[in-house]
Every structure is written in C-alpha cells, then in structure tokens.
Structure 1
Amino acid sequence: MPNEPTFQTLHIASVSFNSLLLGEVVVPDWICSIATMTLLSSMVQQEHWVAVRSIDKPGKHDFKILRKLVLPDGSILRARYAGRPTRDCLFVDPVMDGKSLLKIWNLNKLTGVVGVFNCQGAGTWPMKQAPERNENSTVSISGRVSPLDVEFLEEIAGETWDGECAVYAFNTGSLSRVPKNKTIQVSLDVLQCEIYTVSPIKVFKENVDFAPLGLIKMYNSGGAIEDCTFEDSIRIKARGSGLFGAFSSKNQRCCKVDKKDEDFTYSSENGLLTVNLQSESSFKEIEFVY
C-alpha cells in the first residue's frame, strides 16, 4: 500500500471514517513500513495518534520521518482519541467529489490539532467510476480551517477563555491568531497535507496573551505539553527535546529550562516564541518571565 499512491488516499479516508465507531471501542494499532511510507501516510498516522510500529529492516528506516513521530526515548506524542473527521466532512466524499478536503481532528491535554489532506484525484472507490480528467492535471483543492473543527476545545481552554486561538501550521511554519468562530484558508495539491496545532490563548497578568504550541518540529506538537500554569511567571511542563514554540503577544525578559537560563528567539511579526530544549531528561520545566 505505501508504494501505491492510489491506495493511500482510500486508506486514509477509510480509517478516519471507521474511527467514528471503532475509535469508541478499540485502541487502533498501525503496523507500517516507515521506509516506504509517504509524508501523507505518516502525517495521517500521527493525526490518529495510535501506536506506530515500524517493520522496516535494519538500515531501511527513514529517520527524517521517524524524528517527527517518535521522541528520543521511543515514546510518541499521543493525543486523547482516535482521529475523526470534522463535522463538515461527514457527508462529503473526500476521495472522488473533486472539491472536498479531508479534515481530521484530535485533542491533547492543552491543545487541539487538525490534519488537512487532499485525497482527491489519486484513487477511486471500488465499484465507482472516476470522473474524467486530464492525466497531467493536478487537483488543487481549497478549504477552510477553524478552531471549532476541534471538538471539546472549550473543555481544555477553561472558563476564562475568550475564544481566541493561536493556530500553527506544521509545513509552512505560519502562526496566526484566529477567533474560534473565524477560519483560515488552506489550499493543497494532490497528496499534499498540512497539520494545524490549535492552542487557546490565555491572558497573563492582564497584558500578555499567551498560548503554548509544543515541539513544533513534531507532527503533534501540542502533545508534548503536560501542564501550563500562570503564577508570577508562566511555567510549562513538557516532554521530549527539540524546538519548543509558543505564541506570545509580548517579548519576555528571560527564559529558564530546568531552572537554568536558556537562549530564546521572539518574532514580533507573528508572536512566535521559541526555545531549544536540549537536555536528555524526559520531562522539562520551562519558565517564561515577563
């Protein structure tokens, strides 16, 4: 299957819709060959946040993909549920109608996540005739992504949440501030995909808007966030190592990782705050001081 793109789109759509039922009664387990798995397949596996077992022979692993799926200690950033289609995808054909993107949502402890996939123009359902099209043409599909695509987002946002979210796109690296009832546009060619981390924005000391994003080089970046508390400073308990990102409306005075000063970068254009987590410990305490 991984070597045949026409099967991948069918598989992705089938698994996501099957999860509406099976995700309530079983914990899915995908066995895969990472060496032959495309970016589309690897991202949808992380979107479902199931256990991923690689059956590649020694020397055949694709470590570029593995590093985005698996932490150095061998664990993965698993979300709460099996990935399910968003509400606006329930009664469309994301494989053959020529106009619909497939969106799959999931939830972490403090963030939501939406994976968007263009499954059009590659495969066809059995016993269903595909529409005629030029073989050399590409099917570029546009759609909209909203924080409301993530079910139960209010439960992790808290009672004081005003509906604002920080939305980070994994592939493009763009960071947007989006109210929960607004949308952002996404356009994807055939077999392309994007994963959006959706983090509710909270107010710190009445003048700083802040939202943790997690390990932004991992597919499910928000799965790295275990806890986030606002006291005299902002303290985050995180898993793993790598580039940790957050949205902040203002630059901070200093950053500490495990009580040691750490260099950080801040972009005033989009509010992206990043710090590199380098220690080998599984859990780290990050402190942002304003």
Structure 2
Amino acid sequence: VHLEDRDGVITVIKAVSRLKLFSPYESLIIDLEIDENVSRVLVLTLNTAVAEELGKGFGYYNYLAIDREPRVERPSDAIPYPSLSKIDLSYVDHVSRVPCWTYPLVLRNINEVPKYSIFMLLDVVKKYIALMTLSSRVTSYIGPGSRITVFNGKASYEIEMTHLFTYSIDNDPYKVIEDCVHKAAKVSGFKPRKLKKKPIFMQGLGWCSWNALLTEDLSHNNIINIVKGLRERGVPIKWIIVDDGWQIASSPRSYYWFSKVIERLDVDRSRFPYGFQQLVKELKNLGIEFVGLWSTINMYWGGTSKRFIDELDVEGYRYPPFDSYVPPPDIASAYHFYNKFFSWIKDLGFSFLKIDNQWIIHLLYQGTKHVGEASREIEYGLQLAAEVNNLDILNCMSMTPENYSNFLISNVMRTSIDYIPFWKADTKLHILFNTYNSLLFSHIAYPDYDMWITYDPYSKIHAVSRVFSGGPIYITDRHPEKTDVELLKKIVLPDGDVVRVDEPASPTKDVLFSDPYNEDVLLKIASRCRGFPVVAVFNINREGITITDSISLKHLPFNVEPGLYAYYSVFTGRCGIMDSSDDLKITLGELEVDIYVFSKVIDGNAIIGLKEYILPPYPMTTYSIKEKNISAKFRVQGTVVALINGLFNEIPTQGTAIEL
C-alpha cells in the first residue's frame, strides 16, 4: 500500500494484493497515530446504534399527528443518548439499519470513536484538528478509535489512486473545519456551498405533506384543502412539497418495508383522480409559486418494476435482492434515465425535487463497480439531469461520503433524522443533531433542519432553530385552524419573505465540545443578521432542569469588534449595555429559548431593529450613525427598538425610514 499526504489530503496512490483479493467490504484498515494530547473529540457518526432509542417515536407520534391510534407504546420523554454499549456493528448489521444520518458525539477519548464515523474535530493543546472522510474510488470511514477503514464495493487485486480523507490543523476551530472541507472540495466531486446557487425553495415559507398526511392520507383534496385553509388564515405559503405516497407502488418484495417498488410511470389515480397537472394548476391558483415532488435516487425505496422502465423508455440496472431496476451506474446512462424521468415531472408543472434515500447508492452496485465510482456516476447523472430540466434538488437521507463528496450542483441537504411531532425528547435531540451536524455540512450545502408543525407544543423552539439554520423554512400543519399564525407573523414578512440569519449558525466556542443534552449547559448558536451578531439560546437538557449560563461575545464563531454593545432579548424584552469582554447571564427552563441581538454602541446610540420579528434586524435595508444621529430604512413598518443617548426606546414608524 502506497499512501501519500499532500497538504492534508491523504491518498492511496496504489494498493496491490498478490495473494488474495481485497474484500469488497473492509478492504483496507489504516491505523492513524495522532501524536497529540487530545482532550476532547467531536464526532459525526453514521453508526445508528448510538441513537437506538430514537426510532421508537415514529410509530407513536407520527400517527398521533395524523389523528390515528399510535402503533407502539409511548416512548420516554428522556431517552438516553448516546447509547455506546452496542456500537460494534458488523457491516451487515450496519447497512440493514439504513445508515443515512450522522449523529454528533462529544467524547473524552479518541479510542471511543465508533466505527462508521465520517468526521471528527479534535481539541488538542492550543489548537484543533479536523478530519473528514471522502468517497473517491472507494469510501473511507473513521473508527473504531483513530482507525480508517476503507470500503471498496468490489473485490479486486488492486486499488488505484483514491483520496481517503482530508485533515487540517489550526488554532481556530471554525476555520479548521472550513479549511478541511475546502481541501476535500479540491480533490473530490463537490463544490462548497458558497460557490453554488441558492435553490428556489429558499424563497419564502413552505409546506410539506409528510407529517400532515404521511402516505395514508396523501390526496389531491387533502393537499388543496390544507393549503387553501392556510392561505385563508393569512399564512403566505410560497412553495409546497408533495411527499411520498403519490406512486403506484407494489407490496413489499421482502420482509423489509423498503422493498416496495414503483410499478407505473403515473400517479395513483385513487388519490389524484385529476392527475398532477390539475393539482399544480389549483395550487398555483391559490398563490403557490413553486411545487416540488418527492422521489428517491433509485425511483422508489426498492427501485422500479420492468414495466416502469419500459414506459419511461430507458435501460435499467437490475437489482437482484428485490427483483427490481435502478438507474445504471455510468454517467451517460444515468443521465439519460434521470432526464427522461425529470422531463416527465417538469411537464406536469413541478418546479423542484426532493430526492430521498440517497445513501442506498452505497449498496446498489456492489460487485459491479468500486463504490465511489458508481456513486459519482449516479450523483452526477442525477444532478445534471435536474439542472437541464431547471429543477432544484432538496437532498435527503444523504449524509454519507458517497453523497456529500459528489454534491457538485446540489446545494441543500437535510442535516438530521426526521422531525418527530409533539415529542419532547425528539425536540431536544433534533436541535442538537442539526446544530452540530451543520458545523461540517453547512460548508457543503445549505442545511435543512426539516419541517415542523406550528401547533406542536414545542413549536417556538423549533421555529427559532429553523430561522438560525440559514436553510429552507417550511411547516407541515394538518389542521390550518390550529396553525399558530401569530408565531408565523414573527417569521414571515408581508411580502412573503422569511427572516433568517446571514449564514448558517454554529455552536459558540464554549459549547463546541459540550453535550447540552446530558450536561448542565445551555446550547448557544450564533450567526449574524444584516451584520448584527445574534445568538439563540436553548435549554435542551435531558432531565429538564433549569439552567443558568452566560453568553460571551468572545465565544462567537466570528470576531466581534471590541467596545460597548447594546443587547436585546427578542422574547423577554430584556435590554442593556455590555462590554464585548463581559459575560451576560441567562437562565432558561426546560425547552425554553431566547434570542439576543447585539448592536455596537456609538456615542450612546445603537439600533436593534423591528421588535415584531424573531430577528429584529432582518427587515432593515440600511443603517448608519453619523454625528450622533441614527438613520435606518426598513422594508416594512413596525416598532423600532433603539438605544438613544444611553436609553432604550421603542418608536413606532410611520413609514419605512426613521431618523433618531
């Protein structure tokens, strides 16, 4: 085995075995020696055993949300996480658990890193080390411990040049992650988020059918009635997703639920008797600008029938376990396959796609091609066909190296396992997972924190996390009469724009290596809004205790100019002045949340923004302080919170400009 390190890119130049074939599974095992005093490790792992208890919530709460009897007993509101006792999974066990999501872990010992991890951030003496794995010709994983395991996907005597992972070292933990990703982008098949266009569904507030209807109740009438009800209540939904359940699908072809295949190139007429064109037409008549359609990277969970590919007039690759067909693993054939399907979708009036089940390309082509080669051909064929048809993609179940290493065009990805409605435990873990996962993935694509129900008991904390995600913001209400319109008014401007931070938020430096679910600390995430520092603070403690903690501007993930700052609490109205070196004490009870806005004080004056919105600076278009005079312009009218001559004031605006 010939390994090379080129400026933090670890590459197998060539690996040769003359005695026996390299296994298609654990082909190579490479032990890393990290000669540093590692005090803490933040890990993102695909090992689903660490979240063993989480799956119990789906069979209970998902059915409550659609007014059905739960299928399982109610799970605990304080489930253990992480579970580290059964993490030594065999490869077969690992892939049978659908390992498509990463789970963050904070560990004290690098030897505790579980198998099938993809990223780690090490806290060493006065510096940080970041390491992320890639899918090039093969795919690599971290663990157990500091071991790198290489997955080939095809038995062979040789493994030719393939990039395994990148690493970076720096004294800034945020810069070290960004540098690590940029190194990966140079040798891998993706572009960083900032170099790609923003998808259309980043505009305005969205609605998705999934938690509102599941597959059981998905239909033309139910979608139209819900969207009409939301619009009548003044909720300016701009885009929607028709999720799973529209297909003509088979019964499962094995004991796995995901062995169902799509049978016909058509919509289920028992659910959509007028076809999709009529559905899209009626939605646009209700004011919906963009309609998206759900599918999977392999067309359906288990692939397609022979009849489907004949109707699509394409060649398929046979997948023997389910006697089904999937797109072929070469870019020309994959592009042709997807282009035919996406052209059909585009002709029906759809504007974008949600592509689910993307992790499955890790499995589909084993024995035919090296896993990295097959994955790249499929991902590129998919993205190019979508681009040609002017269809943006929301990527889902796609947090594996085979996916993120190939996001050349795609620029939004889900960053956690599904939202589970009404469940206290999931609310806490959902916010934890998205926050820490986004440390890595927000450099590759806009993070999607998933939909939520506005009449969920914990809707407020969900809403704040979505606004700070920097990604798409969308709801999944079933009952428009229950929709929390007042909450949405704090998020959506009159023109339909949604408030959000300038960049995806990151955990503050003091909680980077903390565990807010199990420790007595508040989760703090920070970004800027129109250039103003903003911090969201959450109490997601498992035991539900009240916690007192502090916010410090020196712990933000970006540099803050020294000096005095006015601060303002969005939910309590608490306000004051603090030095940039001071700590601001804050106390929150279980699942309470607050947002603090900070504004530099100049000659005793500062402006916060409009108090009617979750992010007061967002509606501001211009802001200046000259010779002790404050002037600002806003897109909408409202109540301006400002510090004037050292005193806080609330001034109703008569127009969209103000001078103080």
TM-score by length of 1: 0.76
Partners of 2:550 and 2:636 in 1: how far apart? Answer: 31
The residue aligned with 1:273 is: 649
1:242 is matched with which residue: 632, 638, 643? 638
Does residue 70 in structure 1 map to residue 492 in structure 2?
A: yes
Structure 1 residues 177, 231: CA separation in 2 closer, same or farther (over 3 Å shift)? closer
Partners of 1:110 and 1:226 in 2: how far apart? Answer: 11
The residue aligned with 1:219 is: 614
Partners of 1:149 and 1:217 in 2: how far apart? Answer: 28
Partners of 2:500 and 2:583 in 1: how far apart? Answer: 26
1:176 aligned counterpart, secondary structure? strand
Structure 1 residues 61, 177: CA separation in 2 closer, same or farther (over 3 Å shift)? same
Question: Which protein shows a greater Rg?
Answer: 2
Aligned residues: 237
Structure 1 residues 48, 247: CA separation in 2 closer, same or farther (over 3 Å shift)? farther
User: What is the identity, as a one-letter code, of the residue corresponding to 2:616?
Assistant: S
The residue aligned with 1:128 is: none
1:196 aligned counterpart, secondary structure? strand
Partners of 1:12 and 1:60 in 2: how far apart? Answer: 23
The residue aligned with 2:454 is: 34
Identity %: 26
Hey, which of these two has a bigger chunk of helix by percent? 2
1:146 is matched with which residue: 533, 552, 555? 552
1:196 is matched with which residue: 587, 596, 599? 596
Shift of 1:153: 4.8
Shift of 1:32: 2.5
The residue aligned with 1:183 is: 583
Kept in 1, the 8 Å contact 2:606–2:630? The answer is no
The residue aligned with 1:285 is: 657
Unaligned runs of 5+ in 1: 123-137, 204-208, 251-270
Structure 1, 80-89 or 227-236: larger mean CA deviation: 227-236
Partners of 2:658 and 2:421 in 1: how far apart? Answer: 39
The residue aligned with 1:106 is: 527
Shift of 1:93: 0.5
Partners of 1:149 and 1:114 in 2: how far apart? Answer: 11
Output the aligned Cα RMSD: 1.9
User: What is the identity, as a one-letter code, of the residue corresponding to 1:77?
Assistant: V
User: What is the identity, as a one-letter code, of the residue corresponding to 2:549?
Assistant: G
Partners of 1:243 and 1:54 in 2: how far apart? Answer: 27
Shift of 1:102: 0.3
Q: Which structure has more RCO (C-alpha within 8 Å, separation ≥ 6)?
A: 1
Structure 1 residues 163, 185: CA separation in 2 closer, same or farther (over 3 Å shift)? same
Partners of 1:105 and 1:18 in 2: how far apart? Answer: 15
2:482 aligned counterpart, secondary structure? coil
Structure 1, 2-11 or 226-235: larger mean CA deviation: 226-235
Kept in 2, the 8 Å contact 1:48–1:106? The answer is no
Structure 1 residues 63, 277: CA separation in 2 closer, same or farther (over 3 Å shift)? farther
Structure 1 residues 75, 172: CA separation in 2 closer, same or farther (over 3 Å shift)? same
Partners of 2:445 and 2:517 in 1: how far apart? Answer: 26
2:477 is matched with which residue: 48, 53, 56? 56
Structure 1 residues 87, 140: CA separation in 2 closer, same or farther (over 3 Å shift)? same
Partners of 1:70 and 1:49 in 2: how far apart? Answer: 14
Unaligned runs of 5+ in 2: 1-419
Partners of 1:96 and 1:72 in 2: how far apart? Answer: 40
